[in-house]
Amino acid sequence: MLNKPVAVMDGIWQMRLPLPFELDHVNVYLVELRDGYMLVDCGLGTEESYGELTAQLGEIGVPVSAIREIFLTHTHPDHVGLAKRLLDETGAGLHMHAAELDQLTRIARSADKPLWLDEVLHRAGVPADLIERIEGSFDRIRRNFVELIPHRVLTGEETIEMRSGVLELVLTPGHSPGHLCLYDRGTRTLLSGDHVLQWITPNIGWLPERDALGEFYESLDRIAVYEAERILPGHGKIFSDLKGYVTKTKGHHDARCAQIVEALRGQAKTAHALVSDLWARPLAPFHHRFAVFEVLAHLEYLWRRGEIRREGDGGWDLWIAS
Ligand SMILES: [Zn+2]
Ligand SMILES: [Zn+2]
């Protein structure tokens, strides 16, 4: 066992599971229900992650079979990976937002690679050889996306009864299209998934035709009204300064928007070219893909608000300040 489970409060435990990335772990949470337990997020679909989860459950004294419900804050691989295996083993009910189900199903059905991804990267100006390397770097991740059949498809209006209180769902799209947080008003505890993280800014999950950054800003405002005193994030340590996080994160994206508009003043550029303006160090293919998507989220946001214009050129999208 790499980590010991942490009893956060009465009826909620945090379990830290390993990730083979720069981001070295993901936190999943065990919540005691009136009958059995609910697992909030599942960890990556690896043997190491499964071994760690079962060892920590053993340490808490809860057999895997006692998991009755699995709740997904969102369907990124580090949160959904083990879901299929755990569902098969436990027969638990699965809960996720409709937009997450759509996204997961679309990726799972596109077997080898999502066809739209090539097109998006090409339009963003990424050279063909780099697109190939980006796809290669995702091969290992793709097996985490398998079709799942939820027992309850959520809208974000629901509540979940725990043994010691009630969790309210809070719809917080932006990082992913149907991201959900869980809030216990009684103890002012927020299970924040990847929407609120203390030490990193969650990346914006841009998707074609979606104003992901605009949605993320709205989700920051939505979460800021909660008087949370204890934030249980999907990565990193438990912390309390929700308002500080919201201010800092909005400031980060405001600054990035300003930087992009500045870089596009009088000079049309692709999203790919903007990556080197914004990131000083060269990025590995895996990270370059996230950087391009991050830039696309900001471009989409600025374009919808009339701050930049799009110009097509030889199959690429070029952007320029209005
Ligand atoms: Zn995520
Ligand atoms: Zn995550």
DSSP 22-67: SS-EEEEEEEE-SSSEEEE----SSHHHHHHHHHHHHHHT--GGGE
Q: 61 alpha carbon to ligand 2 midpoint, in Å?
A: 26
| 120-149 pLDDT, tens digit each | 999 999 999 999 999 888 777 777 788 999
Cα 96 to ligand 1 centre (Å): 14
The secondary structure element, H or E, covering residue 76 is: none
Taking the centre of ligand 1 as the mean of its atom positions, its distance from the CA of residue 266, in whole angstroms, is 35
Give 309 Cα–ligand 1 centroid separation in angstroms. Answer: 30
By residue count, the chain amounts to 322
Per-residue pLDDT tens over the stretch 268-281: 999 999 999 999 89
The upper half-sphere exposure of residue 49, i.e. CA atoms within 13 Å in the direction of its Cβ, equals 26
Query: How many C-alpha atoms does 151 have within 13 Å on its Cβ side?
Result: 12
Going from the Cα of 320 to the center of ligand 1, the distance in angstroms, rounded, reads 30
**Residue 115: pLDDT over 70:** no
CATH code for the structural domain at 6-321: 3.60.15.10
Q: What is the mean pLDDT of residues 72-80?
A: 96
pLDDT at residue number 64: 96
Expressed in angstroms and rounded, the spacing between residue 23 Cα and the centre of ligand 2 is 9
- Contact assessment for residue 68 and residue 43, using Cβ atoms and an 8 Å cutoff: no
Which residues on adjacent β-strands are paired with residue 31?
A: 12, 38
**Better-predicted residue by pLDDT, 303 or 21:** 303
Q: What is the CA(96)–ligand 2 centre distance, in A?
A: 15
Residue 159: beta bridge partners? 168
Model confidence at 232: pLDDT above 90: yes
> 148 burial class (0-12, 13-18, 19+ CB within 10 angstroms)?
buried
Ligand nearest to the CA of 234: 2
Q: What does the pLDDT average to over 32-41?
A: 97
- Tokens for 199, please give them: 């030490």
Question: For the chain, what is the largest distance between any 2 Cα atoms, rounded to a whole number of angstroms?
Answer: 63
pLDDT score of 269:
97
Name the DSSP class of 14: E
Average pLDDT of the chain to the nearest whole number? 94
3-class secondary-structure state, position 237: coil
**Residue 75 CA, ligand 1 centroid: distance in Å:** 7
Q: With CA atoms as reference, report the closest residue to 118 among 107, 132, 136.
A: 132
* Ligand 1 centroid to residue 300 C-alpha, Å: 20
Distance 279 CA to ligand 1 centre (A): 21
Which ligand minimizes its atom distance to the CA of 26?
2
Position 178 pLDDT exceeds 90: yes
Regarding pTM above 0.85, the answer is: yes
State in Å: Cα 322 to ligand 1 middle.
Answer: 33
For residue 314, the model assigns a pLDDT of 74
The encoded tokens of residue 60 equal 């808490």
